[in-house]
Amino acid sequence: MEPSLETSIGQIQLDRPVMLASGILGISLDVFKRLYLSGAGAVVTKSLSIEPWEGYPNPTILSVKGGGWINAVGLSNPGAPNFAKMIEPNKDVPIIVSLVGSIPEDFEMMIKQFEHCQVTAYELNLSCPHVAKVGLEVGDDPELVKKIVTAVKNSTNVPVIAKVGLGTSNYLNTVGTAIDSGIDAITAINTVRAMAIDAEIQRPILSNRYGGLSGTPIKPIALRCVYEISSKYDIPIIGCGGISTWEDAIEFFLAGASAIQLGSAIGDNWITVFHEINKGILQYMKRKDYSNIQEMVGLAKRS
């Protein structure tokens, strides 16, 4: 029997386990459709705020030697009300809407905008490393995490995911608080706070000074976090961070993830990369005689 790429993240059912991560190509319904037809199991939007945000002035992104990127785009987005109007015609693509805010009321107000849209899940961005008063500043405050997750869960029947990252506090406490507050799944991890300095002008390169490191340099960190979360908590996990090949995807499944997200990896071949990774996963499953994704999830934790 042919192996199946179908996977479940709690209540979320996907035909394929490879998704588009938030922040990449995330504001066009036409692009969402192309990605879905090219093999993405779901697409996660750019993080949306109540009002449109312009983001930071250039320079906002630079490449890192050996692979990877540091970016400080500043969560630029058209605002939740405008974005909801854009995706309202969608009937086919599994869309996970990423939301960012600083108080529970922000999230409640944004969710109301999507009442007439087909939304597969909401992903709460509790981990952006380079925008003040949102992201990691929220994720580092357990009481605020509790209030936000509780408010969102009371506002919708759609599954809710918390995206966590590495801030100043123990990220596992953030995960535990989100779970205790009713979260349905965890995405781990976001970009890692980083910076670069120009030796000639002797100044930070990014206009914001600090940015988020993504791509291959953070894969071992993200993999470790998925392993730690799955070892401590019984919660569906989406792996994210430095994944660019089918081998990377398998590692995250074995560490405890039921699905994965791609970000930096789609920069060079965003039309083919989902198909290539899906194909590699299927070939691996055939070779190992697995019939579905869930049979691999967490196997690396065997004693």
Q: Is 66 annotated as a binding residue?
A: no
Q: Is 291 annotated as a binding residue?
A: no
Cα–chain center distance at 148: 18
Sheet holding 61-63, edge to edge: 61-63, 69-71, 210-214, 192-195
Q: How many CB atoms lie within 10 A of CB 231?
A: 12
Helices (H), the chain: 29-37, 80-87, 104-113, 136-139, 142-155, 171-180, 219-232, 246-255, 266-269, 273-288
Q: Is 74 annotated as a binding residue?
A: yes
Amino acid at 85: K
Q: Is 199 annotated as a binding residue?
A: no
Residues 6+ away with beta carbon under 8 Å from 55: 73, 74, 75, 76
Q: Is 47 annotated as a binding residue?
A: yes
- Distance, in Å, from the CA atom of 44 to the CA atom of 99, rounded to the nearest integer, reads 10
Q: Is 263 annotated as a binding residue?
A: yes
Residues 6+ away with beta carbon under 8 Å from 49: 75, 77, 79, 80, 99, 100, 101, 106, 110, 134
Q: Is 72 annotated as a binding residue?
A: yes
Q: Is 45 annotated as a binding residue?
A: no
Q: Is 239 annotated as a binding residue?
A: no
Q: Is 73 annotated as a binding residue?
A: yes
- Distance, in Å, from the CA atom of 148 to the CA atom of 155, rounded to the nearest integer, reads 11
Q: Is 170 annotated as a binding residue?
A: no
Q: Is 71 annotated as a binding residue?
A: yes
| Residues identified as active-site | 128
- The neighbouring-strand residues paired with 188 are 164, 239
Which residues contribute to the annotated binding site for substrate?
Answer: 46, 71-75, 125, 190-191
Which residues contribute to the annotated binding site?
Answer: 22, 46-47, 71-75, 125, 163, 189-191, 215, 241-242, 263-264
Which residues contribute to the annotated binding site for FMN?
Answer: 22, 46-47, 125, 163, 189, 215, 241-242, 263-264
